[in-house]
Protein backbone atom coordinates (compact mmCIF):
# COMPACT_ATOMS: atom_id res chain seq x y z
CA UNK A 1 0.00 0.00 0.00
CA UNK A 2 1.45 3.37 -0.93
CA UNK A 3 1.84 6.20 1.54
CA UNK A 4 -1.06 8.11 -0.04
CA UNK A 5 -3.45 5.17 0.08
CA UNK A 6 -2.35 4.44 3.66
CA UNK A 7 -3.12 8.02 4.67
CA UNK A 8 -6.46 7.83 2.84
CA UNK A 9 -7.32 4.58 4.61
CA UNK A 10 -6.42 6.09 7.99
CA UNK A 11 -8.65 9.08 7.26
CA UNK A 12 -11.50 6.80 6.23
CA UNK A 13 -10.99 4.71 9.35
CA UNK A 14 -11.17 7.75 11.61
CA UNK A 15 -14.28 8.96 9.82
CA UNK A 16 -15.99 5.59 10.18
CA UNK A 17 -15.04 5.34 13.86
CA UNK A 18 -16.40 8.84 14.57
CA UNK A 19 -19.59 8.05 12.66
CA UNK A 20 -20.12 4.84 14.59
CA UNK A 21 -19.45 6.63 17.90
CA UNK A 22 -22.06 9.25 17.00
CA UNK A 23 -24.53 6.59 15.90
CA UNK A 24 -24.51 7.70 12.29
CA UNK A 25 -25.45 5.05 9.79
CA UNK A 26 -22.82 4.22 7.23
CA UNK A 27 -23.88 2.59 3.98
CA UNK A 28 -22.90 -0.95 3.10
CA UNK A 29 -21.00 0.02 -0.04
CA UNK A 30 -19.06 2.70 1.83
CA UNK A 31 -18.02 0.14 4.44
CA UNK A 32 -16.89 -2.27 1.74
CA UNK A 33 -14.81 0.46 0.06
CA UNK A 34 -13.18 1.26 3.40
CA UNK A 35 -12.47 -2.44 4.00
CA UNK A 36 -10.82 -2.75 0.60
CA UNK A 37 -8.74 0.41 1.06
CA UNK A 38 -7.59 -0.57 4.53
CA UNK A 39 -7.22 -4.34 4.32
CA UNK A 40 -7.28 -5.34 0.66
CA UNK A 41 -9.67 -6.98 -1.77
CA UNK A 42 -9.66 -10.41 -0.10
CA UNK A 43 -11.01 -9.02 3.19
CA UNK A 44 -13.57 -6.88 1.35
CA UNK A 45 -14.72 -9.94 -0.62
CA UNK A 46 -15.14 -11.83 2.65
CA UNK A 47 -17.27 -9.00 4.03
CA UNK A 48 -19.41 -8.85 0.87
CA UNK A 49 -20.98 -12.12 2.03
CA UNK A 50 -22.45 -10.29 5.06
CA UNK A 51 -25.77 -8.57 4.38
CA UNK A 52 -26.30 -6.90 7.77
CA UNK A 53 -24.71 -3.42 7.90
CA UNK A 54 -24.37 -3.60 11.68
CA UNK A 55 -22.37 -6.81 11.39
CA UNK A 56 -20.19 -5.20 8.69
CA UNK A 57 -19.52 -2.25 10.99
CA UNK A 58 -18.62 -4.60 13.84
CA UNK A 59 -16.22 -6.71 11.74
CA UNK A 60 -14.54 -3.65 10.21
CA UNK A 61 -14.15 -1.98 13.61
CA UNK A 62 -12.67 -5.19 15.05
CA UNK A 63 -10.19 -5.44 12.19
CA UNK A 64 -9.20 -1.78 12.56
CA UNK A 65 -8.45 -2.25 16.26
CA UNK A 66 -6.08 -5.18 15.67
What is the full per-residue pLDDT of the chain (66 aa) written as tens digits? 555 566 666 677 777 767 666 655 567 888 888 888 888 999 999 999 998 888 888 898 888 888
pLDDT at site 45: 93
pLDDT at site 23: 55
Total domains present in the chain:
1
Give the C-alpha separation, 22 to 42, whole Å.
29
Distances (CA, A) of 1 to 5, 7, 35, 54: 6, 10, 13, 27
Supply the range of the domain harboring residue 32: 3-65
pLDDT at site 33: 85
Amino acid sequence: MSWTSTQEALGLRKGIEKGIEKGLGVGREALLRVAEAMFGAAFADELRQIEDVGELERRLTEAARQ
